[in-house]
Amino acid sequence: MTIINERVEVLAMFRRNVPVGMLCYPAKMKFRNQEIVFTELGLRHPTAKGQRMVHVFDMSDGVNDYRLEFDAEGLTWTLVAVLEGHA
């Protein structure tokens, strides 16, 4: 696992008539000038980081796994880590 901890650009998908865990999730991100399209949502869970609410998403592009955090107060996305070749 490679720790990244960098802010990234994310295109989020908002849906209706789906289970609560699938209402909003990252569809793709731009990381170091590379566009990564997610094909699988592994896990999503809200958690507190100090006084801030953070939503953690474990995503896959079919090859690599990615852990993203969405800061609900600051409205920022952070790529926390990448696990290469383990989809």
Q: What residues contact residue 79 under an 8 Å CB cut-off, 6+ apart?
A: 4, 5, 6, 7, 8, 29, 31, 66, 67, 68
Q: At 79, list the tokens.
A: 């790529």
The reply to whether the predicted model has a pTM over 0.75 is yes
Which tens digits make up the pLDDT trace of 32-51?
999 999 999 888 888 888 88
Q: State residue 86's pLDDT score.
A: 59
More confident residue, 38 or 15: 38
